[in-house]
A and B are shown apart, each in its own frame.
Chain A
Amino acid sequence: MSDDATFSNLLHLSLNLLYLKKLFLILLLPVLLTSCEARLENDARALFKTRVLDVSGNPIVNMEVTATTFRTNRFIIGQELSKFSPPDEDFILGKGITNENGQVEFVMLVDGSFFLNFNSERYTNYKISVSRRELDDDYLLDIPETILKESSNVEIEFVNTSGTTEEYSATFELESLDCDLIYSNDMLSQDEDCVFYNNQPRRFNRTTNDGTFELSVFYPSVIDVVFTDALGNQSMRTYTITSALESYEITY
């Protein structure tokens, strides 16, 4: 009898525990659902304006300009995941279209740092990164002129005409499409960290046909190519990029 009673008590206890567990999960569910919601900054509207020009100084008309930011989620403990969505699913903070003078102005939602995207077939890669600090407390970002550059694919081929078997290295100083343009303190510049890694030496002449480099750059711009042989002798070439597709050959 006592064994039966103990078994019955244990059964009751386990059922109670199961019930409590279910109750706990049911109570936890709304907390999880509400705390994972994607949030933008409350009680905030900024104003963005600029005039968009091409490199010749002509206004670019009917171009869509958008302000976007990464989708982030804040969790219960306050940590924030910086990025886990493709760019086309980012938050759109605001958008507008340039008028006949190339001017665009729009109301913008706010959520930390953001990107200004200039969307057209000719300027597909033009994106400017802006820190939240640039909005300050006046919630205004007024860039007097934004001069857009087009993108170019440049092929630089090192051709071994001397028959040397030494390993060479080359560095390319260029306006790479891979590095963010950053607008800070009324200045537009490229992300220095990105430029540093982009300018790291690249080796060639280790195998046959490994001397071709394809570079994606803004144009008009200048590419400085510095290549060095195993003894440390440096040579330099400078190319001015003026079209969407260019190729150069360097013999060594």
Chain B
Amino acid sequence: MRLPTRISISILFFMVASLSFAQEESAVLNAPVSEHPKRLFLTDLYLQRGIPSGDNFAGNGLDGGVGFGIRMQFYVLKNFYLGGALTQDFMSVKSTAIVGEYTRATKFNAYLFAGYDYRLNEDWNITADLGYGFSQNKNRQNGSQGGGKFRDSGNVWRFTSSLEYNFSDGVSFFFSPSYEIVNYNINSAAALNDTFNTGNYFNLAVGVRLNVRDYNNVRLKKSDNLNLQELQSRDRDDLSIKEKRRLYFLKKREARKQRAERKNNN
């Protein structure tokens, strides 16, 4: 089976498996999704393994390596988001006969994207987005080749998906397969055009997602409500410092919620 076919099947399997798994979880927990604080902004920091693919100079001549990236996105309407991302991937040359006489390539992407964030249940989210931007391979010869450097530039289309597990409201971890198609602006002989016009890359990333959420409209959970009532009923002098602190924040959250409700009613 060829690599692109295997990759496509892997993505499909991953999507189907994660959806069915998520539905099970959702049914068991029966969590009130609407009570979860809405995400306003997030930052992803991740490591990725890039795998060049396709019948072109990248797929046939480059070897993937480890890379890293940062993404920032903000939510514009409901679960739709916009954002920007930077990535850097370190690759090596496996066939100089195909790509030319150099040994290393560092791929840099800078792109903007738009996507949708679907909350499966209390713990799991999936996201999918499509991005477009600038891509550049910085190529380098080794010492015996002369140590020369040059660049291949182009524009990238990148489809990124992610399966995310929420450790807390603020921090989550994610696994993210993505696929890039880079249209390169490489001037080449007519016989080489098909080889150097495009480069495809499949990436597998794992990373941490740092969330900024809107807590204004979040009602206290049932357990928090009981806790608040219990703490309020006790003599304040009998409370420990930890309990006083807990009481303070619960009251503050309740007040913030009431303010938001008043504001919405007016």
Contact = CB atoms under 8 A, between A and B. Distances in A.
B235 to A, nearest CB: 62
Interface stretch (B19-27, B98-106, B126-134, B245-253): B98-106
Contact of B102 (A37, A89, A90, A109): A109
Interface stretch (A40-48, A188-196, A204-212, A230-238): A40-48
A233 B167 CA distance: 103
B152 A111 contact: no
Contact of A38 (B146, B153, B184, B188): B146
B191 interface: yes
A140 B189 contact: yes
Interface residues of B, number: 28
Interface in B161-180: none
Interface string B226-262: 0000000000000000000000000000000000000
Nearest to A107: B100
A4 interface: no
Main secondary structure of the interface of B (DSSP, over half): mixed
Given A45-B100, A107-B97, A107-B100, A90 B151 contact: no
A139 B146 CA distance: 22
B99 to A, nearest CB: 7
Contacts of A43: 151-153, 184-187
A123 interface: no
A91 interface: yes
A139 B151 CA distance: 17
Contacts of B102: 109
A156 B225 CA distance: 111
A92 B184 CA distance: 23
Contact of A92 (B99, B101, B150, B196): B101
Interface of B: 96-102, 141, 144-153, 184-192, 196
